[in-house]
Amino acid sequence: MTSKTQYARTVAALAALTLLALPAVGDAQSARGASSQPIAFGADDGEQTTDRISLRGRAEITQGQNRLRAEAITAFRDAQGEFTRVEATGTVYFVTPTQTMRGDRAVYTLSNGELVVTGNVILNQGKNVLTGGRLTYNVNTDAATMSGAPRGQGAGSRIQGVFYPNGTN
């Protein structure tokens, strides 16, 4: 086996381990079943070091019905080798069976299940849309908090949304 093949397999295995550490997101049924489903990932390029795994160029991680997609995804490890957080940069999408979150950057902290999406954030749930500068979403509880951009950053300093009552087209 060539060193290039060994390298590719190592990156694949480490990316898979990163996903295993991520809690499942979505409705109750997908949360129960997603952790036992196969993990897939893809990127144009990848590398590992002692403290991180990096995927670049159309980076995507999926497990079950949940997907994280960005231009670059990096998973960080602590001194014991345990994954602690995942960062995605570039145009970032986090998609569950019921929601789509988009922003310029996302940081997922494994210890508390918190995903923070920043920069031109758009949250879609069905036809409902909410926009702002920062979205904090907990994958364990489905609780979400949206805030505007910091003051002094123009018209984007307020959150805005459109919500459709049930049965409204």
Parse the chain into domains and list their residue ranges: 3-162
Interval 40-97: pLDDT, tens: 678 999 998 999 989 999 998 776 677 889 999 998 889 998 778 889 999 999 998 8
Closest CA to 27 of 125, 117, 122, 142: 142
CA distance 103 to 10: 30
Provide the phi-psi class of 139: left if phi over 0, else alpha when psi is between -120 and 50, else beta.
alpha
Q: Just give the CATH number of 3-162.
A: 2.60.450.10
- Contact at 8 Å (CB) between 122 and 129? yes
The reported pTM is 0.72
Q: What is the pLDDT of residues 117-159, one digit of tens each?
A: 999 999 999 999 999 999 998 877 778 899 987 655 555 578 9
Q: Which of 45, 102, 40, 47 is nearest to 65 (CA)?
A: 40
